[in-house]
Amino acid sequence: MAIFTNASLWVPFLAIVAAILLWKGDFRVRGFVLVTLCAVGITDGLFTQSMKRLIHRPRPHEALAEVREVSLQHAKPEILAVLRPVQIRLSKPPSGQVQGRSFPSGHTMNNSIAATLAILFFGRLGALYIIPAAIVSYSRIYCGVHWPSDVFVSAILGVGFALLIAGIAAILYRSITRRFWPDFYLAHPSLVGTSGS
């Protein structure tokens, strides 16, 4: 769970995968990557961070005593932390004012967005991404950094944002390509759910 919840371990790997998919992927794969990057960038950069500052909900380990905190040890390079024993400690009683950042869960929202878009673009095959998305979301509870309600509501918000941004992207794609690149539009008339290559 500590490995799944550690975003800094996964970001370099995901960036490499995204670059390869943009380079080698077909029309549908490239569309999925671009829409996912836009959706995560917009929601994480604007909505999630703004709501964290606005709501100031303390994380479980900040609000309660003896909440189990699970994390990887510090290591340089960070990937070496996966070879070391996991750190497990109990939180101390809260003291003073806490500037909480518990809601919403960015990990959950980002993975819910990716899972929803994977389903929209790839159907049943894309639905397989629900498994890692669910594991990452559960890891946030397991490691003591989010309340179950944070994760549940963030998952719903992620699905909603994914559907909204996918709809906007599809409208923009259709109107722009039909006007400026009609031949390309005829070959690929739909951004989402297309079988074009």
- Residue-wise pLDDT tens digits, 114-159: 999 999 999 999 999 999 999 999 999 999 999 999 999 999 999 9
Q: Which residue has the higher pLDDT, 95 or 71?
A: 71
- pLDDT band of residue 73 (cuts 50, 70, 90) is confident
Give the whole-number percent of the chain exceeding pLDDT 70. 97
In this prediction, residue 197 carries a pLDDT of 40
* Domain locations in the chain as residue ranges: 12-65+106-187
In this prediction, residue 193 carries a pLDDT of 67
Q: What is the spatial distance between Cα 184 and Cα 80, in angstroms, rounded to a whole number?
A: 46
Q: What is the spatial distance between Cα 150 and Cα 55, in angstroms, rounded to a whole number?
A: 12
User: Helices in the chain by DSSP H: which ranges?
Assistant: 2-5, 7-24, 27-42, 49-55, 60-63, 106-122, 124-127, 130-142, 148-180, 182-187
Could you tell me the two tokens for 108? Answer: 């959950």
Q: What pTM does this model have?
A: 0.89
Q: Which residue has the higher pLDDT, 9 or 40?
A: 40
The answer to whether 110 and 44 have CB atoms below 8 angstroms apart is: yes
At residue 195, does pLDDT exceed 80?
no
- What are the residues whose beta carbons fall under 8 Å from the beta carbon of 59, sequence distance 6 or more? 100, 101, 102, 144, 145, 146, 147
Give the whole-number percent of the chain exceeding pLDDT 90. 68
What is the residue-wise DSSP string for 61-107?
A: HHHSTT-EEEEPPP-SSGGGGGGSPPEEEEPPPP-S------SS-HH
3-state SS, residue 135: helix
Q: Around Cβ 111, how many Cβ atoms within 10 Å?
A: 25
